[in-house]
A and B are shown apart, each in its own frame.
Chain A
Amino acid sequence: MKNNGNSTSVLVIGAGIAGIESSLLLANSGAKVYLVEKASYFGGNIIKWEEVFPNMECATCMIAPKQQELLQNENIELLTLSQVEDVQGSVGDFTAKVKKKARYVNLEACIGCNECFEPCPVEVDNEFEERLSKRKAIYIPCAGALPNAPVIDSANCLRFKGEDCQLCQEACMFEAIDYTQQDEEFELKVGAIVVATGFKPFDLTQTPQYGYKKLNNVYSIVEVERICASNGPTEGQIIMQNGETPKSVAIIHCVGREEKGYCSSVCCMASIKQAHFLKNKISGVKIAQLYSDLCIPGRIYQRFYEEVKESGVDFIRATVSEVTQQGAGVAIKYKTENSEENTLNVDMLILAPAIEPGVGSARLAEILGIPQDEHGFFSEKDPDLDSVDTSREGIFIAGCAQSPKDVPDTVAEAEATVGKILSLSR
């Protein structure tokens, strides 16, 4: 989109893998990119995982070169703690109002030494770590998060609640902490917009029959991802709330599928990945997976499934009827295809939830003037022919914001938005 007769400029909303990929390709073509991310860090969901299927590649290692490239690319302006508030105009000439929350830390001065955390007297649950560990009111979500600078959570910070605490500022040798920082609002003039706001997991408390947050040692797969992470709350040690390593694990697929009314595409593979990881990490562990239909499409997923099955993981086609506490572990009552009823007793139960559009999608849809479908995903212009376009010319969608999908399909969509944008701006 030639903007004011000058070079193309694009607004990318969401700095997960889709947003990162679009931004890099656009910037390398010479376009100016404003990458708006609401969190204090970027990388989206993928940086929360230790390994990705099916090659069990280290996720952070895989993404790190792209993140470094992005931070060093002069054509990309990464705006963290930022959200889009308003969009006016049309293709080639959009005006977007962006609100940037104050970090209270000067990004130029901060060198990421982390000295300011220790003196902070406030401790709250760390959301990034799925509340499995604590963080301070001044914090970075995990070791290795980028940009490598903390943020002050003003809702929990004593100073912002009226007390005269400045312990973090006193600990900082670079005068990087600035309590006087204000939220900022600015206008961006862009030719096109890419929506890459990702997904969030289905709220497992809505399916209490599986025991999430009611019974002990029942976990969401997203919590288990953090437990497995070498930079996570347990440094990669597989230990449960009771401090023990499970000797038997069950993974239930499709939790929330009935409620949502669609198949989330990736959970079978994510569950198989989890089983593979745990089998290698915990010697002698018994793992069973309970599923209704195995969704493992494409050229390599079935091979991975077969390898994991061969390694001794039990795959049971079943409908779960009841989950109850049994000592420290749980008892799972299920019915197989031929109506046989069985019970499985395990130390640890992992639930694989459906995935939904990211937080704030409805509001964003309204701001952008683009429709959502009945599940809240952004609607494409045509599900067959134009699945990265929306009904509003110049606004594109990519990744799980559009529909649940795996990383390769997400990256393809991100690259497709670039194809569309660059071909329009001729």
Chain B
Amino acid sequence: MAKKIGVYVCECGNNIADNVDIDRIIKTISPMRNIEVIEKHRLLCSEDGKEFLKQSISDHELTHLVVAACSPKQHEHTFMSVCVAAELNPYLFEMANIREQCAWVTPDKEEATDKAIRQIAAAIARVAYNEALEKKDIDVYPDVLVIGGGISGIRATQVLASPDRRVYLVEKSSSLGGKVKSFDKLFTKMESGSALIENELRSVEGNENVEVFTDSEVTQILGFFGNFEIKVVKKATDEERNFNVGAVVLATGFDVIDLKELPQYGYGKLEDVYTSLEFEEMNIPGGPTGGKILLKSGKPPGSVAIIHCVGREEKGYCSKVCCMYSLKFARMLKDKLPEAKVSQLYSDLCIPGKAYQKFYEETKGSGVEFIRADKTNVAQNGKGITLKYESETGSKGDLSVDMVILVPAMEPGNDTSRFAEMLGIAVDNEGFLAQEHQKLAPVASSVEGIFVVGCAQAPKNISESIVQSEAAAGKILSTLVPDRKLELEVKTSKISETFCTGCKTCISVCPYSAISFDDFRKISVVNEALCHGCGVCAAACPSGAASVRNFAFTQIYQEVEALLK
């Protein structure tokens, strides 16, 4: 079919008209191949400019459109809408930037005109080779898999579950509630963690839109955003359940650093050196000591030291919540044992936000001792324990206590690496899963549709974990709308079956893992649901099989040739 390209040059008031010779542009461009019409207009983006354009496209039965005006970043979408209104495929349209990158920066009018002519000629040459792309969409499952039944997983489930969206909540242990269930008190309100969990579970257990799996593991996650194939196995019976979901929320929580690797703290060697988790357990009303704080001997301690930042140096990061819960411990101690001497050894006090400093000041005010110490050594001393500590200025000190509570660094839960591998998500030096964007996408992982929340994402407190769960829910609710298809990127990569040699170079460079290898046909295949259209594969492909729709070699070549004529 013959090409009929319409070219419209915008005067942009006098912004372009004053700085380039539009008449000369028209005169020079008119004779070019396939030009059906070339006209100028005062202001194409105005209402009557757009109407004029729409009418002209119809009148001249144009097959392609070129608009020479401002930057496409300003009005490409405006004119694409005009194309749609005029029933011209909006991808058979190109803009030539003759304002920001020409009229506004080239003082000499002749030079500016020459440059404008080159850029317009390039757009014309290119558009003739554009493909008439169509928007694509795919069916999606609105349902969600939540892995991990702690506070994060529970809240995510609550916010997501609805009659048109099923949530599958998988927990590896025999009950829901995670770590928070065994915290007797939570900062700053000093209320019960188990009561909190009980309350939260009310809207999950018995919720007909939620299916809970306990004593179970997720053994398979295949597919992509909108279409994941899940396999869950019940550990005791090896019973398998298969189902499809649109998104996955990883809420696998945290573990603490192995204290046996830090012998200077005496953990596992000295009696009465406890980790924070052990101390939490001790305080549970129904626990082994009936909620009383007791030494191994059965007596209550007369003096307790809480050592912050245990393992921080080894891990290389600050676990954020420990200063606050150490203050909580001090309060619990003072509450149950008012006569006990409580000392806290810390290096930097991390108490960010509007409420925490007050909590610290009140704790300090209740008689708790704060000692800045960089290195601490814990050793047996007769029936008790002696701490030898050193501050960063070099001054040394020692402290004799009955009980030591070690506040250890937090790590991602030990399932995290298994899921990272299963999902193809990179893990950083500290073991945390790679994010889509460090600042702007905190709960989205590098794989679209997989969200990482709570302490699995990074150490954080309950409030922040809950916010992240709700955030993941927000992202999912916004994009996986029941009965609505997911719109895909149009200018995606495609790989020619004929030319693909199966070298897999494209697979190795794709930042989105959007290309997979078809073992049967021995070629690489692009998943258009994941492709962002960056073109790195096309540039890397040695055989030219990979190419980006409307950014193919042919199209760009036309621009190069026209610019250099």
A62 contact from B12, B45, B189, B439, Cβ within 8 A: B439
Chain A: minimal CB distance from B302 (Å): 29
- Assess whether B474 is in contact with A418, with CB atoms less than 8 Å apart: yes
Report if B358 contacts A (CB, 8 A). Answer: yes
Identity of the chain A residue whose Cβ is nearest the Cβ of B358 in the assembled complex:
A261
Measured in the bound complex, the distance between the Cα atoms of B323 and A293 in whole Å is 12
Interface size, chain A (Cβ < 8 Å): 72
Binds B, one of A26-34, A93-101, A274-282: A26-34
Binds B, one of A77-85, A131-139, A234-242, A401-409: A401-409
* CB within 8 Å for A297 and B352 given contacts A388-B467, A412-B467: yes
Contacts of B479 in A (CB 8 A): 28-29
From residue 368 to 408 of chain B, which have CB atoms closer than 8 A to chain A?
A: 372, 391-393, 395
B353 contact from A108, A403, A407, Cβ within 8 A: A403
Chain B: minimal CB distance from A316 (Å): 11
Size category of the binding interface on chain B: 35 or more
Chain A: minimal CB distance from B431 (Å): 9
* Cβ proximity bits B454-486 to A, threshold 8 Å, 1 near / 0 not: 000011101110111111111101110100100
**Which of A29, A30, A115, A404 has its CB near the most chain B CB atoms (within 10 A)?**
A29
Report if A362 contacts B (CB, 8 A). Answer: no
Measured in the bound complex, the distance between the Cα atoms of B476 and A418 in whole Å is 10
Report if B317 contacts A (CB, 8 A). Answer: yes
Report if A159 contacts B (CB, 8 A). Answer: no
Binds B, one of A208-216, A224-232, A377-385: A377-385
- Assess whether A52 is in contact with B317, with CB atoms less than 8 Å apart: no
* Cβ proximity bits A32-74 to B, threshold 8 Å, 1 near / 0 not: 0000000000000000000010110100001000101000100
- Assess whether A299 is in contact with B372, with CB atoms less than 8 Å apart: no
Chain A: minimal CB distance from B508 (Å): 24
Measured in the bound complex, the distance between the Cα atoms of B318 and A408 in whole Å is 17
Report if A365 contacts B (CB, 8 A). Answer: no
Chain A: minimal CB distance from B369 (Å): 16
From residue 8 to 65 of chain B, which have CB atoms closer than 8 A to chain A?
A: 12-15, 43, 45-47
- Assess whether A388 is in contact with B354, with CB atoms less than 8 Å apart: no
Contacts of A266 in B (CB 8 A): 352
Binds A, one of B156-164, B210-218, B285-293, B538-546: B156-164
* Cβ proximity bits B189-211 to A, threshold 8 Å, 1 near / 0 not: 10100001000100000000000
Chain B: minimal CB distance from A366 (Å): 19
- Assess whether A261 is in contact with B162, with CB atoms less than 8 Å apart: no
Measured in the bound complex, the distance between the Cα atoms of B42 and A173 in whole Å is 10
A415 contact from B43, B188, B353, B470, Cβ within 8 A: B470
Chain B: minimal CB distance from A159 (Å): 22
* Cβ proximity bits B153-193 to A, threshold 8 Å, 1 near / 0 not: 00000011011100000000000000000000010110100
Binds A, one of B257-265, B330-338, B343-351, B413-421: B343-351
* CB within 8 Å for A297 and B471 given contacts A337-B391, A409-B442: no
Report if A145 contacts B (CB, 8 A). Answer: no
* Cβ proximity bits A17-32 to B, threshold 8 Å, 1 near / 0 not: 1000100011011100
Identity of the chain A residue whose Cβ is nearest the Cβ of B313 in the assembled complex:
A302
Identity of the chain A residue whose Cβ is nearest the Cβ of B17 in the assembled complex:
A173
* CB within 8 Å for A299 and B459 given contacts A174-B43, A262-B353: yes
Identity of the chain A residue whose Cβ is nearest the Cβ of B471 in the assembled complex:
A415
* CB within 8 Å for A262 and B348 given contacts A111-B12, A337-B393, A412-B443: no
Report if B355 contacts A (CB, 8 A). Answer: yes
Chain B: minimal CB distance from A54 (Å): 8
Report if B242 contacts A (CB, 8 A). Answer: no
B467 contact from A109, A174, A263, A416, Cβ within 8 A: A416
Identity of the chain B residue whose Cβ is nearest the Cβ of A66 in the assembled complex:
B440
Interface pairs (25), CB distance under 8 Å: A29-B479, A108-B47, A173-B14, A261-B358, A262-B357, A263-B357, A264-B352, A266-B352, A297-B319, A298-B317, A299-B459, A337-B372, A373-B354, A383-B188, A385-B200, A404-B352, A408-B442, A411-B441, A411-B471, A413-B471, A416-B468, A418-B478, A419-B475, A420-B159, A422-B474
> A interface vs B, CB < 8 Å?
17, 21, 25-26, 28-30, 52, 54-55, 57, 62, 66, 68, 72, 108-109, 111, 113, 115, 173-174, 261-266, 293-303, 306, 317, 336-338, 373, 375, 377, 383-388, 403-405, 407-409, 411-420, 422-423, 426
